[in-house]
């Protein structure tokens, strides 16, 4: 049988950011910049900008399911990135889809708090998300605030990252990428901890910038894009971190938003190094 050529297909299941810096918008920019074909199943609409979130409009679970079915049953999916899931019923639809379609490459970014500090998930949703999606995800990618919310305690310093990551594994995750960017210091340390091997410390010099809105969305969708191209998890994470550091560096001096000079959180430069759409056999 002659192989069928196709683009690396990445489906983002996440919320829409009207300001364009995070959520579905950041995911699509990232997926395209890394040479993949991006698709979406939108879980919620948000009214937000560089200053914060002013409103959330939920998408009904049955319509989320319809979006996923329409995409997977026609175009197909090589990897999924999961972002904002605001309600238990939404989580259940996503878990159903992963099991029903046998999707193997799944990046779960447990979006709970926006860069502005706005809460984006209902309390009742957290336990459902952990129970249903942690075991199905290839990797779970919480930042420090999200990990603390999941674990119910503070994570004080780089030495505490490994023990916190092991606690997250105990909740059912297969692999955890715990992001330490919210810790103080001149160096940013993330930790990739697989269930069955040693931890990997990923270090980089901190880039001074207020334009970091959507970094979590961007990193998780970049990992999904590299997984869709066939890279192993560790390589996908390394490549995604390198790319996002370039996007932060390229956008650190750009002013976006704040008509009156407001001190909001601007976006990364997702288009700093685009590549042509890749084709897989």
Contact yes or no for 270/17 (Cβ under 8 A): no
Residue 77, CB-side half-sphere exposure with 13 Å CA sphere: 28
Alpha-carbon gap, residue 63 to 66, rounded angstroms: 5
Q: For position 200, what pLDDT does the model report? A: 94
| Whole-Å CA distances, 12 to 29, 66, 148, 166, 271 | 11, 14, 25, 27, 18
What's the confidence (pLDDT) of residue 185?
Answer: 85
pLDDT at 261 over 60: no
Residue 263 falls within a domain, yes or no?
A: no
Q: What is the pLDDT of residue 260?
A: 56
Cα–Cα distance for residue pair 277/134, rounded to 1 Å = 31
pLDDT in tens, 192-219: 999 888 999 999 999 999 899 999 999 9
Interacting residues of 62 by C-beta distance below 8 A, sequence separation 6+:
none
- Domain range for 137 is 9-251
Residue 192 lies in a domain: yes
Here the tokens at position 233 are: 């998890």
Note whether residue 268 is domain-resident.
Answer: no
Least confident of 73-77, 140-144, 223-227, 260-264: 260-264
Provide the token pair at 198.
Answer: 């040693």
In a domain, 270, yes or no: no
Question: 104 lies in a domain?
Answer: yes
Distance between CA atoms of 256 and 195, rounded to whole angstroms?
40
The yes-or-no verdict on residue 116 having pLDDT over 70 is no
243-268 average pLDDT score: 85
What is the predicted pLDDT for the residue at 150?
Answer: 92
Cβ proximity of 206 and 187 under 8 Å:
yes
* CATH code of the domain in which 93 resides: 3.40.1190.20
Q: Say which residue the tokens 């502005």 belong to.
A: 116
Asked whether residue 260 is assigned to any structural domain, the reply reads: no
CA 213 vs. chain centroid, Å, equals 12
Sign of the four-CA dihedral 240, 194, 212, 185: negative
Mean pLDDT within 183-189: 89
In a domain, 86, yes or no: yes
Does position 1 have pLDDT exceeding 70, yes or no?
A: no
- Within-domain flag for 264: no
Q: What does the alpha-carbon distance between residue 144 and residue 19 come to, in Å, rounded to a whole number?
A: 24
Domain count of the chain? Answer: 1
| 30-53 mean pLDDT | 95
């Amino acid at each position: 049988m002659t192989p069928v050529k196709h683009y690396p297909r990445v489906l983002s299941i996440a919320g829409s950011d009207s300001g364009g810096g995070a959520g579905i918008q950041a995911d699509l920019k990232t997926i395209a910049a890394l040479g993949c074909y991006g698709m979406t199943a939108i879980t919620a609409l948000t009214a937000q900008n560089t200053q914060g979130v002013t409103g959330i409009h939920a998408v009904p679970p049955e319509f989320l399911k319809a979006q996923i079915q329409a995409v997977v049953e026609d175009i197909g999916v090589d990897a999924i990135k999961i972002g904002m899931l605001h309600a238990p019923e939404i989580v259940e639809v996503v878990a159903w889809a992963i099991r029903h379609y046998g999707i193997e490459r799944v990046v779960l970014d447990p979006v709970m708090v926006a860069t502005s500090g706005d809460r984006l998930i209902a309390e009742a949703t957290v336990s459902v998300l952990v129970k249903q999606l942690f075991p199905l995800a290839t990797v779970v990618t919480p930042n420090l605030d999200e990990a603390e919310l999941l674990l119910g305690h503070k994570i004080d310093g780089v030495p505490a990252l490994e023990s916190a990551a092991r606690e997250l594994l105990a909740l059912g995750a297969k692999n955890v990428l715990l992001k330490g960017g919210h810790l103080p210091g001149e160096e940013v340390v993330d930790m990739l901890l697989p269930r069955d091997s040693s931890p990997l410390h990923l270090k980089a010099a901190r880039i001074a910038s207020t334009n970091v809105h959507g970094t979590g969305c961007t990193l998780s969708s970049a990992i999904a894009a590299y997984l869709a191209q066939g890279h192993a998890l560790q390589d996908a994470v390394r490549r995604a971190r390198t790319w996002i550091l370039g996007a932060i560096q390229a956008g650190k001096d750009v002013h976006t938003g704040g008509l009156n000079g407001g001190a909001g959180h601007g976006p990364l430069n997702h288009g700093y190094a685009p590549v042509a759409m890749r084709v897989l056999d």
